[in-house]
Amino acid sequence: MSMNPLDLFADQPAIARRSIPIDPGVTAHYRHDLPGGLDAPQGLSHHMLTFFLSQNERQVTHVDEGGEYDGAMEPGDFYLFPAGHSAFTRWQSVDTTLHIVFEPDFLSRVAREADWVNAGSIELRPIVKTRDRKLESLVQLFLTEIEQSDFGDKLYLESLSSMLGIHLLRQYCNLTPFNRPYVAGLAPYQLKRVLEYIQAQLSDALSLDAMAAQVGLSRSHFANQFKQAMGVAPHQYVSQQRIEKAKRLLRSPQRSITDIALECGFANQSHLTKVFKKQTGTTPKAYRQQL
């Protein structure tokens, strides 16, 4: 019986570990492990991308149809275990890794959203130790957001997971997808409807799926067409609008910054302060004092 990678990790001793849901069917699993190993002779139930964040003196890894590697691992190296392939890995030193575990249907969903004609026949190629600069950049973006786990940007993580899916499809798939003809741009009425929806929901946990549903588009198409219309990605626009709302509310001295943060859709005051300072160069408290 195939095993969920997260179940295999459950019994592995670790110095530190953290699992964070990224998107439906996608989980990021950060680990700082003691020497040990994992064995899935019947294969994995999910795809697993493992990215190395520290040097490992010796790693022995085998994946069915993907070969075997026995040697040192460097930060930036990764391997890819597709669902259904038997695999094992052993490491002989303290190991820091980020595992992105995703359901087999995730890539098919991303492909369908991007209107790739052959979305139903997707298979990942097993990879044992390689490097990929674009993938490394994506993983670093995941890590930066995951480190802010108390108030990670849900919209941003959804966008990153879609970008990861597209990259895996393009580079590590068994075939090259072909796109259907692309129809660009949101119609004015669609854009108006989405912008009104965003304004009405700023205090809530907005998602790409919910915004795309307002105009009857897939998440991928919506994100592309929104950026064409507005010049920024949906998560960037939402963040900007939340800060503009916070600025307006800060003009009311009786409102606490904590209450303003929650009303503007931030997890807490610290989350608001982090984003506010990034966008304006100052803190909400300092901004209020300057009014």
Interval 241-253: pLDDT, tens? 999 999 999 999 8
* Measured CA angle at 9 (ends 8, 15), to 5 deg: 160
Token look-up 């990929």 returns: 132
Q: What is the pLDDT of residue 119?
A: 60
The neighbour count for residue 48, using CB atoms within 10 Å, is 26
Cα gap 52→205, rounded to integer Å:
31
Q: What is the pLDDT of residue 38?
A: 83
One-letter-per-residue 3-state SS of the chain: CCECHHHHHHCCCEEEEEEEEEECCEEEEEEEECCEEEEECCCECCEEEEEECCCEEEEEEEECCCEEEEEEECCCCEEEECCCCCEEEEECCCEEEEEEEECCHHHHHHHHHCCECCHHHCCECCEEEECCHHHHHHHHHHHHHHCCCCCCCHHHHHHHHHHHHHHHHHHCECCCCCECCCCCCCCHHHHHHHHHHHHHCCCCCCCHHHHHHCCCCCHHHHHHHHHHHHCCCHHHHHHHHHHHHHHHHCCCCCCCHHHHHHHCCCCCHHHHHHHHHHHHCCCHHHHHHHC
In whole angstroms, give the CA distance from residue 42 to residue 109: 25
In the structure encoding, which two tokens stand for residue 230, read together?
A: 């507005």
Task: Write down the pLDDT at residue 149.
Answer: 54
| Type of residue at 15 | I
The C-alpha atoms of residue 261 and residue 209 are separated, in whole angstroms, by 24
185: left (phi over 0), alpha (psi -120 to 50) or beta: left
For the chain, the structural domain boundaries read: 5-171, 188-231, 243-290
What pLDDT, on the 0 to 100 scale, is given for residue 183? 52
Whole-number Å distance between alpha carbons of 158 and 48: 18
Q: Name 286's Cβ contacts closer than 8 Å, sequence gap at least 6.
A: none
Find the largest Cα–Cα distance for the chain.
Answer: 65
**Beta bridge partners of residue 71, listed in sequence order:** 59
- Least Cα distance to 217 among 194, 239, 236, 237 occurs for 194
- Give me the pLDDT at residue 57, please: 78
CATH number, domain 5-171, options 2.60.120.10, 3.90.1150.170, 3.90.1010.10, 2.40.50.100: 2.60.120.10
pLDDT of residue 55: 84
Q: Quick one: pLDDT at residue 112?
A: 78
For the domain covering 243-290, report its CATH number: 1.10.10.60
Q: How far apart are CA 29 and CA 149, in angstroms?
A: 12
- Calpha distance 268→259 (Å, rounded): 9
pTM for the full model?
0.76
90, β-bridge pairs: 37, 60
Which residues of the chain are modeled with pLDDT < 70?
A: 1, 115-120, 148-152, 175-184
Residue 178's pLDDT is 57
Query: Tokens 């795309």 sit at which residue?
Result: 212
